Amino acid sequence: MRISGLSITEIVVVLAISALLIAVAVPSYRALTISNQLSSTINLFVATLALARTQAVNNTQRVAICASSNGQQCNTEQYEQGWIVFVDHNQNNSREGFAETLIWVQEALPAAFSLRATAAYKSVVAMTPSGGLARGISGNITLCFEREPSISRKIILIPSGRMRVVSHAIKSCNL
């Protein structure tokens, strides 16, 4: 009578091959997960820009987006701490309490993310009633994951108010 089953050698070979496959797959899966998080986060900011532009055009008034850690005032240049969208009646790039309507509040991003704008848009991105950028110049907003800066994303803003997202490899998230 013959007993069927696997020998210890066969089990060790199967475990070794499985470990090798897992060792190859896990880093790829991690990069894919980070890439998906970056894409969804940058799309959230693009949607915020589109909301501000639409509100500005539909209501024929200037609408601004600024970095805000408290959800009420423009108080930082680090968009990863959160941001607000508001009607900027007096066009001073700052929300004046309840006098200027708050349209959207976005909470802070996870700690490992950095969302920073180029000099012209560090403090505020404002849209005019015609749908263009109030400053009238191009700019960039870069989203970076501190542990993988090589797979960051960048929003390119053009004066007409249109935008596009590109993959952007950088060496460091210190923008």
pLDDT at 30 over 90: no
pLDDT at 35: 86
CATH architecture, domain defined by 9-168: 3-Layer(bab) Sandwich (3.55)
List the domain boundaries for the chain: 9-168
Torsion angle defined by CA atoms of residues 30, 34, 37 and 43, in that order, rounded to the nearest 10 degrees: -140
Which of 10-19, 45-54, 113-122 is the least confident region?
A: 10-19
pTM here is: 0.83
Measured distance CA(144)–CA(147) in Å, rounded: 9
The dihedral over CA atoms of 64, 66, 70, 71, expressed in degrees to the nearest 10, equals 30
